[in-house]
Amino acid sequence: MTVLIDTPHKVSTAELIARLYHTEGKAEIVNGEIVQLMSTGDDPSSAAANIFISLRNYEKRTGSGRANTDNIGYLVSLPNRKSFSPDASFFTGKRAGMKFLEGAPIFAVEVRSDTDHGPNAEREMAAKRADYFAAGTKVVWDVDLLSETPIRSYSSDDPETPRLFKRGETADAEPALAGWRFPVDDLFD
């Protein structure tokens, strides 16, 4: 679930980004507004953390890219979106020090909270995936801990047809992360 932060007048992208740096909590710039994202629960947070830990191990093993945790800001230049803040992600661009990263992650993970279900949530998730792909992300995971297939892996090569991963299986983020594997059961540790 999202909450719009009131923007009293149309402002420039630069001003929105400056405001985003001072917005408490997790937020993104969508449709010319700062949209604050709701906090999540224990299980979704643990799932995102376990994915990050696995991505961090992949980063160390391969010596390439950077695994990022929840609440990192990625600045992009789409007509309707200027930033992302995935629950976990992997980035291969330049480091940014204390600033938001420029460009999209190659792999993004969105873990659903208990309120992220139903037709409206499905439309929002599909629109956000389309934005990720337009910005250059190669693979997006839609993680739903309440589903029989907790990981739906969408690829920019075929954005409408997810690969489904259920408990007992091992998921991947091909073609974004060659050789990285994640046991679905680790979402529930």
What pLDDT score does 10 carry?
Answer: 77
Give pLDDT, residue 17: 95
pLDDT at 167 over 70: yes
pLDDT digit string (tens) for 25-78?
A: 899 999 999 999 988 999 999 999 999 999 999 999 999 999 999 989 999 999
The pLDDT of residue 57 is 98
Mean pLDDT of 89-94: 98
d(CA 135, CA 129): 10
Alpha carbon 34 to chain centroid, angstroms: 17
User: What is the predicted pLDDT for the residue at 38?
Assistant: 85
Domains, the chain, with CATH or none: 41-71+86-188 (3.90.1570.10)
pLDDT at 4 over 70: no
Q: What confidence score (pLDDT) does residue 1 get? A: 43
Comparing 9-13, 50-54, 116-120, 172-176, the range with the smallest average pLDDT is 9-13
The pLDDT value recorded for residue 9 is: 62
Distance separating the N- and C-terminal Cα atoms of the chain:
25
Distance CA 98, CA 83 (A): 16
Of 166, 142, 161, 139, nearest in space to 152 by CA: 142
Taking only the tens place, the pLDDT of each residue in 98-138 is: 999 999 999 999 999 998 999 999 999 999 999 999 999 99
Is residue 62 within 8 A of residue 77, CB to CB? The reply is: no
Q: In what order do the strands lie in the sheet with 88-91?
A: 66-68, 88-91, 107-111, 139-143, 151-155, 158-165
- Is 78:132 a contact under the CB 8 Å cutoff? no
Instruction: Quote the pTM value.
Output: 0.93
Q: Is the pLDDT of residue 81 over 70?
A: yes
